[in-house]
Structure 1
Amino acid sequence: MQSTPSYLWSTEDLLGQGATASVYKARNKKSGELVAVKVFNNASYLRPQEVQMREFEMLRKLNHKNIVKLFAVEETGSSKQKVLVMEYCSSGSLLNVLEEPANAFGLAESEFLIVLQCVVAGMNHLRENGVVHRDIKPGNIMRLVGEDGRSIYKLTDFGAARELEDDEKFVSVYGTEEYLHPDVYERAVLRKPQQKAFGVTVDLWSIGVTFYHAATGSLPFVPFGGPRRNKEIMYKITTEKPPGAIAGIQRQENGSIEWSYELPITCRLSAGLKDQLIPILANILEVDQEKCWGFDQFFAGTNDILHRIVVDVFSLQQASSHRIYIHSYNTTTMFLDAVFKQTNIVPHHQEYFFEGHLYELDPNLQARHFCRTTESSPLTLLSTSEQPEDVVGVQYRDPALDFPKLVPRVDVVADCSAAKSAVGAAHQTLRVGQALRRGRELLARGLHWVIGNLRTECSRILEQRRGAHSVLACLQLTEGRTHVLCEAVPAGGRAPAGLDVLRTRLRRVDEELSQCSRSIFDFQGALDGILAELAKDGQQVHEDKSIQQIECCLEKMQVIYKQFKRARTCLRLGYNEEQIHKLDKLNLGSLARRVLSIFQNGCVQQYQEALALHSSRMRKVCEIKKHLKRLSNRISSCSVEMMECQDCLQGALDRLLQTENWDLAAAPPAPSPVPLSQARQEMVLGMQELLEQMRSVTCDLQLNNSIIERLGGAAPTPSV
């Protein structure tokens, strides 16, 4: 045990160790509060006095929630060594988080954004105080969990920090080599004499490497054999990096370097966030300090990301998920453009559904007023283009490529590393499997909503057709009576030829409306059939246990990995322990193969079958949607035709009245010195009644057309 006047700790409670100090978990002697104490070793006292005091002074100066707090500076009772008493972060460092097998391919998007926010806020406080850290890396970013369950990250280890304004330079070298700016690396690691001075932007290079590591689980610049084994190639990669490249890997000894301008497909960040992050990484991972962004540009770029909101979108025809990063004050117009950039679906062909309903977005609506979406409850996008959309589906790298080969020979260090890689690959396989299952669910749900909307459209068009047919019946009745009256006129003796044409037109309208009804009923039957198939598919998804089976295998693999971690601490395994170790390794390999088998034969096969069925169903649904629109237009055309027929009837009646010199519309005929015959009186009354009926038909036509327009029918018909 060691202690200061106020704090007590055991040397077994080691939290971390560096070149000049060790950090332990300690307790306040009075309150029992947990703290971290940084105890400096003898090597630290070989440094100049001002260097020794610099960290104390820095921490006293800094006060921010994303920087580890300094509580006190005390001395141990025996050796009088200086001890920094600091805030204890119970969840280790960001490096500890990244070393967890679950994060072998980087942090989840939500956690990465927290890291981004915390590091940016902490660095902003450093720059406000004119401090350059000079040793930014995941191991110097501590983590604790807040009361809300969210992570809080804090910068720590200011042993290399110093005060430096933006336009000042320094020549001393500090830092951890994988995260060093190439100019610093050249002198500090390669020991090459050079007269370069370094500015505050060297911290930006370290931040870029750290962010890349957090996003992908790997370092961006890796020579064959690793950064520590091939230092000259490491320097070559970082100094010869082309503009815009954010990573470079040498996969074979003396081989060429593969440059990357994108984050890898295994990265867990969405394409929307990648698009925002990559330009920042490209501009801070710039070897030329004159071309590298300054902190003002860095803070502007990162805060632009952090102040955006996310809208989740699922493109139904493409079967692809998207996250749209947009400012809350941006309008629908900008949102549609952002969706177009990711999906290639032009704004005027974008139609959205949310929670089962058509979701209409006003062009001027601000994004802050959009519905709240999640990955599992996104806006569902339907393309209204007549050109079919290519199915994209879930994009992923084959997990089989990430599982390591397990060799029979016992090597506790290599076996532990292989077990960690296997567990990490299993976690990635599970995530991809879950994404495939979620994709199937979103496909079925979205198609169900679209079909529901089309069924409503069928009902609307049927109602439109019923209204048109009722008007047609009135017109046919009126036409028949007009025909009879015309034949009864003594001067004519028969109906005008125009009425025969009119009768033919009305018969054609009748046939057209009947055909529309039959088509709608056929479409309703087809839609009901797809719904029945979707219900059956949903039951199969519910009964599918692939994800649970992978989770079970993963749990067993994690137990073996923990045993291998314990074995790694032993210098040598006993005979029995070694036999158990071999059996565990065999079991680990068997479990890994089982995970891949379940993934390929369960998750992937079922997803591909679902995609194939979905493509066929979407073609049917889109075809029905197109035909329903045409049917609605045809019924509207029938209404126009009936309006014209009504005008023809009115004209025929007017001509008949002119023939008889009757102005029935204005007033009853004047008394005649010669009494009208009984037949003529009946004809007059019939014509008067017919005119009233014509007026009624006109009103019905107008009402029907207004209903058609209100229900979303085609272009408005001419006024009567």
Structure 2
Amino acid sequence: MQSTANYLWHTDDLLGQGATASVYKARNKKSGELVAVKVFNTASYLRPREVQVREFEVLRKLNHQNIVKLFAVEETGTSRQKVLVMEYCSSGSLLSVLESPENAFGLPEDEFLVVLRCVVAGMNHLRENGIVHRDIKPGNIMRLMGEEGQSIYKLTDFGAARELDDDEKFISVYGTEEYLHPDMYERAVLRKPQQKAFGVTVDLWSIGVTLYHAATGSLPFVPFGGPRRNKEIMYRITTEKPAGAIAGTQRRENGPLEWSYTLPVTCQLSMGLQSQLVPILANILEAEQAKCWGFDQFFAETSDILQRVIVHVFSLPQAALHHVYIHAHNTVAIFLEAVYKQTKVTLQNQEYLFEGHLCALEPKLSAQHIAHTTASSPLTLFSMPTETPEGLAFRDPALDIPKFVPKVDLQADYNTAKGVLGAGYQALRLARALLAGQELMLRGLYWFVFSNMAGMPEIQELKGAAELRAKLRTLAEVLSRLSHNITERQLSLSSLSSELARDRDQVHEDRSIQQIQCCLDRMYLIYKQFRKSRMRPGLGYNEEQIHKLDKVNFSHLAKRLLQVFQEECVQKYQTSLVMHGNRMRVVHEARDHLRLVACSVAAYSTEAQGVQEGLSKILDWLSHQLLQDRTKAAQASAGPMASYSCPALKDLGLHMEELCEEMKLLAFDLQDNNRIIEGLSRAQSASDV
């Protein structure tokens, strides 16, 4: 046990260790509050006095939620070693998060945005106080959980920090080599003499490497054999990198350098976020300090991302989910243009459903009027079907699974198990995404079929209108033919709707996710044993035999996991993509046919209205004539010649009364017919919207 006047810790509770100090988990002697104490070793006191006190001075100057707080500076009781008492972050560092097998291919998008927000806010506070950190890396970004369960990341380890204005330079070298700016790397790692001075933008390079690492799970610049085994090539990659490239690798010994201008397909970030992030990485991962962005532009561009809202859009033609990043103050027109950039669906062909209802998006309105979406409840985009839906783009996890070496090598076996487990977690994520994609395909198409059926006129009304053919033969024949065609379309769509509902039930009954999760759980137990065993100098005979059996079982579980992923997830998903493409064409043809029906009936509307107006005039004239005849007949019956009134006049009156009644019925039928036509016109208008 070691202690200061107010704090107590055990040397077994080591949190981290560096060249000049060790960090332990400690407690306040009075309150029991957990803290982190940084205890400086003998080597630290060999540094100049001003360097020794610099970290204390820097931390006292800072006060921000994304920077680890300094509580006190104390000394141990016996050796009089300096101790920094700091805020304790119980969830480790960003590096420990990234080293977890489930994050082998980078963080999920939501978590990455939290990291970005916290790092940007913390760095902004440093620059406001004129401080350069000089050792930004995932291991120096601590994580704790907030009261609402959210991650909070905090910058720590200010041993290399110093005060430096934007236009000032320094010549001392600090940092971790994988995250060092190339100019600093040349002198610190390659030991090449050079007289370059460094500015605050060296922190931006380190931030760029850190953000790439967080997004992908890997370092951006990797020579064959690794960064620490091939330092000359590491330097070449960082300094020869073309403009716009964000990563470089050497895949074989003495092989060519390969550049990447995009994030890898295994990255979990959406293309909407990647399109915003990649230009930032390209401009801060710039070896020439004169070409690198300054902090002002970096803060402006990252803040622009963080201030945007996400609208989730599932494109039925592509069978793909898109994250559209827009500002709340943007117009709907800007949103529609952003959708076009990601889907290539032109503005005039974009039709939307949300939760089963047609969603009319007025371009002039504010984007705030767009419904609140989630990945499981997105806007559904309908447009012209493509030949083959693209679906989710992914890399087969089997390609990233390493093989166990035949002999027992505890460190190698641990590394292999970690790699296999990472690929297994990637397979689980992909399986969930593929299943969710099938659900969105079926649900979206089902909704669209239902909305089009709901927009159709009642078949019975069309049949009733067709019965007018005795009085309006031409129009009745058209209505009868249209009624038959729409009946056929309705039966087709009803069949498709039932088929979609059946397939959705099958998706819900799928158990492949549970099977993959079961394999992963069993693999994780073996992985934990390997992680524990690697710390031992060796294994006894029996333990070694168990270790060998665990390797065999681990490999069998990995094989089973991949089999389920390929046969139960990928194959079903690919089959569903083909079916989705065919169904899209059926729905699109039915919708186009409905539009033609509505247009055809609308064309006859004018003619029918003209007939109605003509009949109304005739009816008015006949009614007037009938009234006059009745008046004359009444006058005649009152006179002396009443007994001699003509019987033909009575017959004519009765005939005109019958004709008048028929005209009234015909006018009523025409009014009913016009109501049907107006219904079809409304269906066309709704479909056009």
Query: Is TM > 0.5 for Structure 1 vs Structure 2?
Result: yes
Name the stretch that deviates more: 27-36 or 678-687: 678-687
1:264: which partner in 2? 264
Quote how far apart the aligned CAs of 1:368 are.
2.5
1:462 aligned to 2:459? yes
1:548: which partner in 2? 514
The 8 Å contact of residues 131 and 162 in structure 1, kept in 2 or not, is answered as yes
2:423: which partner in 1? 425
The 8 Å contact of residues 615 and 667 in structure 2, kept in 1 or not, is answered as no
1:622: which partner in 2? 588
Letter in 2 for 1:623: E
Q: Output the CA distance in 1 between the equivalents of 2:466 and 2:648.
A: 34
1:446: which partner in 2? 444
Deviations 1:503-550 (A, max 9, x none): xxx323222222222222222222222222223323322332111111
Quote how far apart the aligned CAs of 1:461 are.
5.2
Q: Aligned residue pairs: how many? A: 677
1:77-226 equivalent positions in 2, closer than 5 A: 77-226=77-226
Name the stretch that deviates more: 620-629 or 589-598: 620-629
1:376 aligned to 2:373? no
1:238: which partner in 2? 238
2:555 to 589, 594, 608: 589
The 8 Å contact of residues 636 and 713 in structure 1, kept in 2 or not, is answered as no
Residue 376 of structure 2: SS of its match in structure 1? coil
1:679 aligned to 2:648? yes
Q: Output the CA distance in 2 between the equivalents of 1:284 and 1:380.
A: 36
1:159/1:665 Cα in 2 relative to 1: closer, same or farther (>3 Å)?
farther
Gaps of 5+ in 1: 478-505
2:565: which partner in 1? 599
2:492: which partner in 1? 526
Residue 633 of structure 1: SS of its match in structure 2? helix
Name the stretch that deviates more: 449-458 or 639-648: 639-648
Deviations 1:276-331 (A, max 9, x none): 11111011111111111111100111111111111111111211111111111112
1:502: which partner in 2? none
Letter in 2 for 1:288: E
Letter in 2 for 1:465: L
1:21/1:512 Cα in 2 relative to 1: closer, same or farther (>3 Å)?
same
2:344: which partner in 1? 344
1:699/1:87 Cα in 2 relative to 1: closer, same or farther (>3 Å)?
same
Q: Output the CA distance in 2 between the equivalents of 1:340 and 1:666.
A: 68
Quote how far apart the aligned CAs of 1:35 are.
0.3
1:304/1:665 Cα in 2 relative to 1: closer, same or farther (>3 Å)?
farther
The 8 Å contact of residues 332 and 365 in structure 2, kept in 1 or not, is answered as yes
1:433-512 equivalent positions in 2, closer than 5 A: 433-458=431-456, 460=457, 462=459, 465=462, 468-469=465-466, 472=468, 476=470, 506-512=472-478
Residue 536 of structure 1: SS of its match in structure 2? helix
Q: Output the CA distance in 2 between the equivalents of 1:638 and 1:390.
A: 39
2:523: which partner in 1? 557
1:535 aligned to 2:495? no
Q: Output the CA distance in 1 between the equivalents of 2:94 and 2:294.
A: 25
Quote how far apart the aligned CAs of 1:363 are.
2.2
The 8 Å contact of residues 317 and 382 in structure 2, kept in 1 or not, is answered as yes
Name the stretch that deviates more: 182-191 or 47-56: 182-191
Quote how far apart the aligned CAs of 1:625 are.
1.4
Letter in 1 for 2:418: K
Residue 455 of structure 2: SS of its match in structure 1? helix
Q: Output the CA distance in 1 between the equivalents of 2:205 and 2:600.
A: 66
Q: Output the CA distance in 1 between the equivalents of 2:390 and 2:628.
A: 74
1:632: which partner in 2? 598
Quote how far apart the aligned CAs of 1:707 are.
6.1
1:98/1:528 Cα in 2 relative to 1: closer, same or farther (>3 Å)?
same
Quote how far apart the aligned CAs of 1:185 are.
0.8
Q: Output the CA distance in 1 between the equivalents of 2:580 and 2:447.
A: 14
Residue 8 of structure 1: SS of its match in structure 2? strand
Q: Output the CA distance in 1 between the equivalents of 2:308 and 2:626.
A: 70
1:195/1:686 Cα in 2 relative to 1: closer, same or farther (>3 Å)?
farther
1:271-282 equivalent positions in 2, closer than 5 A: 271-282=271-282
The 8 Å contact of residues 461 and 632 in structure 1, kept in 2 or not, is answered as no
Name the stretch that deviates more: 194-203 or 621-630: 621-630
Q: Output the CA distance in 2 between the equivalents of 1:329 and 1:539.
A: 40
The 8 Å contact of residues 70 and 85 in structure 1, kept in 2 or not, is answered as yes
1:5 aligned to 2:9? no
1:494: which partner in 2? none
Quote how far apart the aligned CAs of 1:262 are.
0.3
Name the stretch that deviates more: 685-694 or 87-96: 685-694
Deviations 1:206-259 (A, max 9, x none): 000000000000000000011111111111000010000000010011111110
1:90/1:650 Cα in 2 relative to 1: closer, same or farther (>3 Å)?
closer
Residue 24 of structure 1: SS of its match in structure 2? strand
TM-score (norm. length: structure 2): 0.93
The 8 Å contact of residues 468 and 638 in structure 1, kept in 2 or not, is answered as no
Q: Output the CA distance in 1 between the equivalents of 2:652 and 2:45.
A: 126
Quote how far apart the aligned CAs of 1:700 are.
6.1
Name the stretch that deviates more: 117-126 or 623-632: 623-632
Letter in 2 for 1:606: K
The 8 Å contact of residues 181 and 202 in structure 2, kept in 1 or not, is answered as yes
Letter in 2 for 1:339: V
Q: Output the CA distance in 2 between the equivalents of 1:137 and 1:388.
A: 45
Letter in 2 for 1:431: R
Quote how far apart the aligned CAs of 1:389 are.
5.7
Q: Output the CA distance in 1 between the equivalents of 2:291 and 2:18.
A: 33
Quote how far apart the aligned CAs of 1:163 are.
0.6
2:250: which partner in 1? 250
Q: Output the CA distance in 1 between the equivalents of 2:201 and 2:119.
A: 15
1:495: which partner in 2? none
Residue 78 of structure 2: SS of its match in structure 1? coil
Residue 630 of structure 1: SS of its match in structure 2? helix
Deviations 1:152-175 (A, max 9, x none): 000000011011111111111110
Residue 426 of structure 2: SS of its match in structure 1? helix
Letter in 1 for 2:462: R
Q: Output the CA distance in 1 between the equivalents of 2:619 and 2:2.
A: 116
1:315: which partner in 2? 315
1:28-47 equivalent positions in 2, closer than 5 A: 28-47=28-47
Q: Output the CA distance in 1 between the equivalents of 2:61 and 2:675.
A: 75
Quote how far apart the aligned CAs of 1:676 are.
8.5
Q: Output the CA distance in 2 between the equivalents of 1:329 and 1:683.
A: 75
The 8 Å contact of residues 318 and 389 in structure 1, kept in 2 or not, is answered as no
Quote how far apart the aligned CAs of 1:370 are.
2.1
The 8 Å contact of residues 309 and 326 in structure 2, kept in 1 or not, is answered as yes
1:351/1:461 Cα in 2 relative to 1: closer, same or farther (>3 Å)?
farther
The 8 Å contact of residues 318 and 386 in structure 2, kept in 1 or not, is answered as no
The 8 Å contact of residues 314 and 379 in structure 2, kept in 1 or not, is answered as yes
Quote how far apart the aligned CAs of 1:338 are.
0.8
Q: Output the CA distance in 1 between the equivalents of 2:193 and 2:684.
A: 81
2:17: which partner in 1? 17
Q: Output the CA distance in 2 between the equivalents of 1:254 and 1:373.
A: 50
1:642: which partner in 2? 608
2:538: which partner in 1? 572
1:380/1:463 Cα in 2 relative to 1: closer, same or farther (>3 Å)?
farther
Q: Output the CA distance in 2 between the equivalents of 1:410 and 1:326.
A: 53
Q: Output the CA distance in 2 between the equivalents of 1:41 and 1:668.
A: 125
Deviations 1:421-441 (A, max 9, x none): 000000000111111111111
Q: Output the CA distance in 2 between the equivalents of 1:711 and 1:507.
A: 20
1:707/1:102 Cα in 2 relative to 1: closer, same or farther (>3 Å)?
same
2:412: which partner in 1? 414
Name the stretch that deviates more: 199-208 or 347-356: 347-356
